Amino acid sequence: MTIVNGSSNTSRIVQGVFDKYQKERLSFVQTVADLASRETNIPALQQAGVMNLLRPLLLDTVPGIQQSAAVALGRLANYNEELATAVVDGSILPQLVYSLSEQNRFYKKAAAFVLRAVAKHSAHLAKSVVDSGAVEALVNCLEEFDPTVKEAAAWGLGYIARHNGELSQSIITAGAIPLLVLCVQEPELSLKRIAASSLSDIAKHSTEHAQAVADSGAINHIAPLLAHPDAKLKRQVTSALAQIAKHSVDLAEAVVEGEIFPQIVNCLKDYDVYVRKNSATLICELAKHSAELSQLVVNSGSVAAMVDYVQESSGNARLPGIMTLGYIAAFSETLALSVIVAKGVAPLVSILHEENETHIKSATTWSLGQIGRHTSEHAKSVVEQGALLALLKTYTGINNDDDMSSDLKTKTKRALKSIIEKTLVLPALEPLLHHETPSNILKYVLNQYSKVLPHDVKARRNFVTSGGLKRVQEIQAEEGSKLAESIRRINEVYPEEIVRYYSPGYSTALLEKLEEQLKPEVKIDQKESQNSTNILVPTSIPV
């Protein structure tokens, strides 16, 4: 009896030691996971060598410890690329991949989270995840019953696909797209968001990838979600449709056939700034492909809504709206007129005054050039809003420090040239004549004067009275240049006397000539005066 009691006591003692060890392991890993949730703690955890301590816990026999260790590793890997690299270098990925097919749903979520955290930092790390066989395991997780596991897997696949076409192709090859489309149809809102986001990441790289997404029927299931009240879902839906539409006319038409109008126009007025921006991007991607698609955008009422969007937004958010107006105007006179009628010129001119970013100004100058380049009426509508002076100030204020500035200078010069060459209302060009306009812009201005003045009597008169002819005579042009040729043709329109009158130094030369003519007359008068005096006052009286 004593032996039995002694054996029982020993068993309890041993069991107590192991229970304590298990509790301490669980307490440790849970505490680390909690600490890792706050970024301020992560450098200290890294310095303490936490990665080496967590790795063996992934193989622990207790599921709760495994799960907490995976969560802690995911939070650490999510913090920076260095810690994510440590996960790869520690040969942790194969164990995580194995767990995705063998463990319970809670651990699968945690393992997928680690894979996502590693893949997000760079294409190199994402390639390591792919090489570990994680893609197939994540795709299998998309068929799980638990929606949270599907969500974790879809998120991981999206982070892998976003880096480049090669990684995206690995997702397609694994058969992920049809399963992601099924996830979009699930009732869980968060799963819809992540699935749409992953489809967007896959479609963005090439026409082939976007076509694969379209062929899976994704558009027909995504497009109706534009009417969904959830803003975060609409962000992903508009982004996915834009990524599909941008590659080709056929894909853009496929998106339109998904019946996105007029709902996408309503999205331009959404309360969420990202929904508005992504919607503007989608319309821009549609309009850029062809005149027919641009006409469809105009017919849907999108132009007026886009003008409002450009006025109400700021910074980079304006860019898709600016580009849309330019794309529409570029195709034909009629489409450019629709932008003018929608009062799209004034907001573009305002942007040149308000925005400082070079790429935004570059897009704006390009769009103004597309609107004004078609006919004299188009040019008139542009210059009446003060576009020429705004473009000139943009051009003269550019510092040629980088390629972006060079691009802006090129686009601004082209816009000025295309608008000036269509301008028949010459008073609109006078501000450029009287400002300090560079000679490479001034030559277009004077060339336009030289073409219009010979055929317009009123314009010739106004050109003189406004001081334009006088300003032309003051311009120093290199002999044989286009600028000098334009000045010559303008001068030929007027009588030589008028041209000489307004030439610099003419009044001085005229006064000198007058003085030269007056000097002999003065000498004659003095001599005659002296003779008269001799007659009136004789030197002697005859006896």
**Mean pLDDT confidence for 1-7:** 53
Give the Cα separation of 45 and 227 in Å (integer): 46
Give every CB contact of residue 74 below 8 A, 6+ residues apart in sequence: 110, 113, 114, 116, 117
Instruction: Tell me which of 532 and 320 has the higher pLDDT.
Output: 320
Q: Is the pLDDT of residue 210 over 60?
A: yes
Split at pLDDT 50, 70, 90, the class of 537 is very low
Split at pLDDT 50, 70, 90, the class of 507 is low
**Mean pLDDT confidence for 349-374:** 93
Split at pLDDT 50, 70, 90, the class of 483 is confident
What's residue 515's pLDDT? 63
Give the Cα separation of 200 and 455 in Å (integer): 58
Q: Is the pLDDT of residue 3 over 60?
A: no
Split at pLDDT 50, 70, 90, the class of 513 is low
What b/e string do you get for 200-209 counting C-beta neighbours within 10 Å, with b at 16 or more? Answer: bbbbbbeeeb
Give the Cα separation of 451 and 93 in Å (integer): 74
Give every CB contact of residue 118 below 8 A, 6+ residues apart in sequence: 77, 84, 87, 88, 93, 125, 126, 128, 129
DSSP letter at 454?
G
Q: What is the mean pLDDT of the chain?
A: 86
**Which range has the worst mean pLDDT, 73-77, 233-237, 325-329, 358-362?**
73-77
Of 365, 368, 408, 364, nearest to 384 (Cα)?
A: 368
Split at pLDDT 50, 70, 90, the class of 503 is confident
**Which range has the worst mean pLDDT, 21-30, 135-144, 299-308?**
21-30
Distance linking the first and last C-alpha atoms of the chain: 194
Provide the whole-model pTM.
0.84
Instruction: Tell me which of 30 and 331 has the higher pLDDT.
Output: 331
Split at pLDDT 50, 70, 90, the class of 464 is confident
